[in-house]
Amino acid sequence: MQAKPLPPEHAALMLQRCRDCGRHRFPAARYCAHCRGERAEWVQSCGDGVIESWCTFHKAYWPEFKVPYDVVQVRLDEGVRLFSNLVRGRPQAGMRVKACFEGPLVKFEPA
């Protein structure tokens, strides 16, 4: 049985946080890269961040992706970095963004 995606009002971006030093980490790992602690918990991210870098793809590597499309590197306010897409507008370094969901995928939109 295949799981159905959560409706947007129930979707949440979750991050792993070290219970010893309090730093967030992505991807999830057994040990904290900062303090080597093993205790972790899952917490909901605020979803806010800033675009640090971006690039535009002009070659269709997969038929589902219509070119051109942008891939952004976002540093969340919690400190972790994610790669995703900007759903509206043109990316700019330093642009404030907020997480949104397209089905199960985390994407970003201008804040």
pLDDT in tens, 48-72: 999 999 999 999 888 888 899 999 9
Q: Rounded to whole angstroms, what are the CA distances from 13 to 5, 57, 82, 93, 111?
A: 13, 26, 11, 22, 16
The pLDDT value recorded for residue 101 is 93
pLDDT at residue 1 in the model? 40
Share of the chain above pLDDT 70, in %: 91
Residue 34 has pLDDT above 80, yes or no: yes
For residues 55 and 84, is the Cβ–Cβ distance under 8 A?
no
79-96: per-residue pLDDT in tens? 999 999 999 999 999 999
Q: Give the closest residue to 85 by CA, choosing from 63, 42, 7, 67.
A: 67
Q: Which CATH number fits domain 47-111: 2.60.40.1180, 1.10.3080.10, 3.30.460.10, 2.40.50.840?
A: 2.40.50.840
